Amino acid sequence: KPDGIVGSGTIDILNKGPGDRARQLAVNLERLRWLDRKPPETRIDVNTAAATLAYWRDGALRDRRNVVVGQPDWETPELGSPIFQLVAHPYWRVPKSILEDELIEKSPAYLAEQGLEWRDGRLVQLPGPKNSLGEVKFDMRNDNAIYLHDTPAKALFALPERHRSHGCIRVQDALGFAMLLASDDGVIVPFQEKLMEFDQEGFVKLKQEVPVRLMYRTAFLDDGQVRIADDIYGWDDEVAYALGYVRRPPRAKLKQAGGDVGP
């Protein structure tokens, strides 16, 4: 962040030499080797290290935007999982981990103010302006309860450091992105109809599931240029060690200020 203050992140960058960059490139080339040589022509790639999203359609880059991903200790995992449906005005069914970590001691008045209520022994947030999933959720098939979604915390997308969620992926202008996916898939009309049913959860299945790849890349190509991202999760070290580099002491995982209870 350009604040004129030499913080730990700036010092870390200044201290890196050519050997460190070579190590970082080797780690990320190894990660590329793990992937299919020919990725799906239509897909969504999320780089959780850089907190960015790229949407590919029929082999061409269709859209790019910022995302907010898991903060250290709530890391967004690396996985492949398709989006199979869009959810308009979603309910948020609060996971047990967030309930115990963030909400268990909150007063009934606070919960009511946030649109949270107990239903069948589960804390649920109703659709509305304070709902942590915003106006749309992108349902995905995986065992980690990881998905893409909207958020009322729009200001986070303008920050240079966007590792502030509890693991799920918040999408910049998620409603616009959902409209783009729905239009490309031929389900824009039913999706718009569900959006018009305010405060009522509505589901629209995609005709063709869209593969999503959640990847951690601290060195990557961007418009033909090599870009570097901070190894905020500290995941580079294990890969580097497996490649024969000297193991380094684990980095302290610093959570970013200004987080919220959303997924």
Cα–Cα distances in angstroms (integers) from residue 34 to residues 38, 79, 88, 221, in the given order: 12, 12, 35, 17
Quick check: is 168 catalytic?
Answer: yes
Enclosing H/E stretch for 61: strand 60-70
Q: Token pair of 255, please? A: 């959570």
- Angle, CA 179 vertex, CA 42 and CA 138 arms, to 5°: 70
- DSSP secondary structure string for all residues of 183-219: HHHT-HHHHHHHHHSTTS-EEEEEEEEEEEEEE--SE
Strands 219-222 and 169-171: unpaired
Active-site pick, 89, 163, 166, 168:
168
3-state SS track over 157-176: HHCCCCEEECCCEEECCHHH
Quick check: is 149 catalytic?
Answer: yes
Active-site pick, 89, 149, 163, 166:
149
Q: Give residue for tokens 């935007």.
A: 65
The catalytic site residues sit at: 149, 168
